[in-house]
Amino acid sequence: MREIRFTLQLNLGESYIHGTAGIADGVSYSINIQQANDQSIILPRDFSNIKEFNQAAISFTRHAGDTIALISRLEIGQGDIIQVYINDDDVLLALAKDLPIDMSLQLKQEDKTNDAAA
């Protein structure tokens, strides 16, 4: 398992959350968080070194100090933006009410053989 941590500076848009996500080495990416039918996170092509992972446990830390956690499908995109799609309106509303200041990803490789046996 591997962890990636981002420092967030977010704003509330019309129906989404957007801003920047910075990592420890000083690199920043645009980030967009919005509602969708399928829960997923798409990382920029700079993260192609983690292609072996296909699932992420995402933890958002908010200004109040509490954490909102969710499990998401993980993809590496072709662009240079972080896209977070959340399929739970209550989670998105909670994030919008108290914008997160930190996001950490625990990367995992989902074992598809166990899913097939179930």
pLDDT at 111 over 90: no
Q: How confident is the model over 44-68, as pLDDT tens digits?
A: 999 988 889 999 999 999 988 999 9
Residue 114: the pLDDT is 46
Q: What is the mean pLDDT of the chain?
A: 91
Domains of the chain by range and CATH? Answer: 2-117 (2.40.40)
User: How confident is the model over 106-115, as a mean pLDDT?
Assistant: 71
pLDDT tens, residue by residue, 71-87: 999 999 988 999 999 99
Return the HEC string of 36-80: CCCCEEEECHHHHHHCCCCEEEEEEEECCCCEEEEEEEEEECCCC
pLDDT at 23 (0 to 100): 93
